[in-house]
């Protein structure tokens, strides 16, 4: 698949990893539709990317919202070849905290956004991808979802987040196997400690401390490095049903 002709839908595309990926697609010559819930940032980000970018308000945890947004994106770009799931929340809390057991309502919200949200975008985008004309390798589309190293080494307080990201990793292979008949590849990126908007709001000292925990390079990951990985997956037909850790060899400690 050639990024210069990509027609990409990117959830969480208004900022962070999603926006960096959108920039990568636009720089290559492709088109993007940013799916997000932050209307002000979404409009600003789409405008900064130019006339090949559009923003659509989308609640990924709401199936009807995703269905409408993906249909609109397909209409806007004249098809969809690339779906990238970057929308997510990192709400944390000890299961047995000072105020008692963590409410299941908060656990469910993390699962709905991170896991069900990724599934919603994947299935709706794939429904359009399956009708694309195949390339010489028989490919019709590519899906990239965002997990986390927390899927493998979740820290104390990350039960919900780790469960959601572990679910993203777990559903990838069954989807890749099912979608193979349509020429649609499904992969996952598991980032380490990256400079996302959430981390950017922390003090310089905290950011430096987090970066120093990474064996090499001893710094925070850059959103552009995530985007480069997504672009590599899109252009490499043999990468399918795989989770790629992009983490500088860090392995998270319990806390």
**Would you name the residues annotated as active-site residues?**
161
Residue 25 to residues 13, 14, 29, 49, 151: CA-CA distances in angstroms? 12, 14, 6, 10, 27
For the record, the structure tokens of 205 come out as 């000292």
What DSSP string describes 84-135? EE---------TEETTEEPPHHHHHHHHIIIIIHHHHHHHHHHHHHTTSPP-
Q: What is the DSSP letter of 221?
A: B
Do 95 and 101 form a contact (C-beta atoms < 8 A)?
A: yes
Cα–Cα distance, 241 to 129 (Å, whole number): 17
Do 233 and 243 form a contact (C-beta atoms < 8 A)?
A: no
Do 179 and 185 form a contact (C-beta atoms < 8 A)?
A: yes
Q: How far apart are the first and last CA of the chain?
A: 41
What is the maximum alpha-carbon separation in the chain?
59
Do 35 and 58 form a contact (C-beta atoms < 8 A)?
A: yes
Cα–Cα distance, 151 to 147 (Å, whole number): 7
């Amino acid at each position: 698949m050639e990024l210069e002709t990509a027609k990409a839908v990117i959830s969480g595309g208004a900022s962070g990893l999603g926006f960096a990926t959108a920039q990568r697609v636009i720089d290559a010559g492709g088109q993007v539709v940013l799916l997000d819930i932050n209307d002000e940032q979404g409009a600003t980000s789409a405008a900064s990317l130019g006339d090949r970018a559009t923003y659509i308000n989308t609640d990924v945890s709401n199936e009807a919202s995703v269905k409408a947004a993906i249909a609109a994106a397909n209409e806007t770009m004249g098809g969809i070849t690339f779906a990238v799931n970057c929308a997510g929340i990192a709400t944390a809390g000890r299961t047995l905290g000072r105020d008692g057991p963590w409410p299941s309502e908060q656990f469910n919200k993390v699962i709905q956004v991170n896991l069900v949200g990724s599934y919603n975008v994947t299935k709706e985008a794939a429904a359009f991808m399956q009708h694309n004309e195949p390339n010489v390798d028989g490919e019709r589309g590519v899906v990239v979802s965002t997990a986390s190293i927390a899927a493998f080494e979740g820290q104390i307080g990350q039960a919900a987040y780790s469960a959601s990201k572990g679910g993203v990793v777990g559903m990838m292979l069954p989807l890749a196997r099912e979608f193979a008949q349509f020429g649609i590849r499904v992969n996952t990126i598991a980032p380490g400690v990256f400079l996302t908007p959430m981390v950017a709001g922390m003090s310089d000292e905290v950011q430096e401390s987090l970066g120093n925990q990474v064996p090499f390079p001893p710094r925070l990951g850059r959103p552009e490095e995530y985007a480069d990985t997504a672009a590599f997956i899109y252009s490499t037909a043999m990468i399918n049903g795989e989770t790629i850790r992009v983490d500088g060899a860090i392995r998270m400690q319990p806390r």
